[in-house]
């Protein structure tokens, strides 16, 4: 490409010859200059739009500002919704913990109102000399997540503790620790003695409670009645299975009040004292058998429960 420059001040015309590489470089430089000028004008217009009061530019700026506000509001709303869900989960977990706490208090022998589950724990203290700091959204979210994990961990541990308390409570209810006759006294202990009928030395497999005929007989522990019949030697006899191969036997009753298959609770009235069977007088013969072997009932009756 040849460019000819003609001027009155020039003695002769100048001729400039541009090759294609030089022409491309010049065109690129021109494009860069135009883009730089446009960017500078755009920045200047946006920078001083409020002062220039150009309606179109002002509308564009308002629209951009509104979009940014909407985006920020949507982000905050999403975070608030997520925190609201977490808050609902924490409230449900806290209600579960309160319920578990009340049950544990009852199992442990406390009154739930004594532990004040429904009241906020008292907290206080003097103002700190260290300057306070505001929580950021990220800090707050981390605190909520940590508190949620702690609630879940405490709930699992309390649930395990409740299971242990429940098993211990059931074990106590199924262990013959209640006196089967109120106000009765031992007339014959467990072990070797002189048989009142033969006068020979014989092993006594239970405890005899001296009581008036018709005195109520109570179940020493909860269980299932597995025998309720008349026995040639024991007279009117009842046996209760308490699980774990543990059975209690109540003999010489004047009246049986339960039948085989009945479920009885600890302290339920099951019979009345009598003198049926091989007996010299009105009394209750009480036995505890474990795996078919007679155990000393006094060892059970002295246990707490």
Round to whole Å and give the CA distance between 227 and 262. 10
Question: For the chain, give me the number of helices (H) and strands (E)?
Answer: 6, 14
The token duo for 67 is 């979009």
pTM for the full predicted model: 0.52
Burial (CB < 10 A; 0-12, 13-18, 19+), residue 44, is exposed
Model confidence at 115: pLDDT above 60: no
Helix (H, G, I), strand (E, B) or coil at 194: strand
CB contact at 8 A, 284 and 250: yes
Model confidence at 232: pLDDT above 90: yes
Chain centroid to CA 244: 30
Average pLDDT score over the chain: 78
Q: What is the pLDDT of residues 131-162, one digit of tens each?
A: 766 666 677 777 778 877 777 777 777 776 66
Return the closest-CA partner of residue 264 out of 294, 228, 290: 228
Burial (CB < 10 A; 0-12, 13-18, 19+), residue 32, is exposed
Return all residues near 237 (Cβ < 8 A) that are at least 6 apart.
Answer: 227, 228, 229, 230, 231, 249, 250, 251, 252, 253, 277
Question: Where are the chain's structural domains?
Answer: 2-46, 185-301
Q: What is the pLDDT of residues 101-114, one digit of tens each?
A: 777 777 666 665 55
Homologous superfamily (CATH) of 185-301 is: Glucose Permease (Domain IIA) (2.70.70.10)
């Amino acid at each position: 490409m040849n460019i000819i420059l003609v001027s009155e001040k020039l003695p002769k015309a100048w001729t400039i010859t541009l090759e294609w590489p030089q022409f491309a470089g010049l065109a690129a430089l021109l494009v860069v200059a135009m883009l730089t000028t446009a960017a500078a004008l755009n920045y200047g217009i946006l920078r001083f739009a409020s002062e220039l009061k150009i309606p179109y530019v002002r509308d564009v700026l308002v629209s951009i500002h509104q979009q940014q506000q909407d985006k920020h509001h949507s982000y905050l709303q999403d975070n608030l919704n997520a925190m609201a869900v977490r808050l609902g989960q924490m409230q449900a977990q806290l209600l579960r913990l309160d319920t578990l706490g009340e049950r544990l208090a009852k199992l442990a022998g406390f009154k739930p109102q004594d532990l004040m589950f429904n009241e906020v724990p008292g907290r206080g203290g003097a103002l700190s000399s260290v300057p306070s700091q505001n929580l950021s959204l990220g800090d707050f979210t981390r605190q909520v997540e940590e508190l949620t994990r702690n609630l879940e961990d405490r709930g699992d541990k309390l649930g395990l503790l409740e299971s242990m308390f429940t098993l211990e409570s059931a074990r106590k209810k199924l262990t013959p620790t209640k006196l089967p006759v109120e106000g009765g006294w031992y007339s014959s202990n467990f072990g070797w003695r002189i048989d009142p009928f033969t006068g020979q030395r014989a092993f006594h497999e239970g405890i005899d409670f001296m009581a008036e005929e018709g005195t109520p007989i109570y179940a020493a522990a909860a269980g299932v009645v597995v025998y309720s019949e008349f026995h040639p030697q024991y007279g009117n006899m009842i046996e209760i299975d308490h699980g774990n191969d543990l059975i209690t036997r109540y003999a010489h009753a004047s009246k049986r009040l339960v039948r085989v298959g009945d479920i009885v609770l600890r302290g339920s009235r099951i019979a009345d004292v009598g003198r049926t069977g091989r007996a010299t007088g009105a009394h209750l013969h009480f036995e505890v058998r474990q795996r078919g072997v007679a155990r000393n009932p006094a060892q059970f009756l002295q246990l707490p429960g």
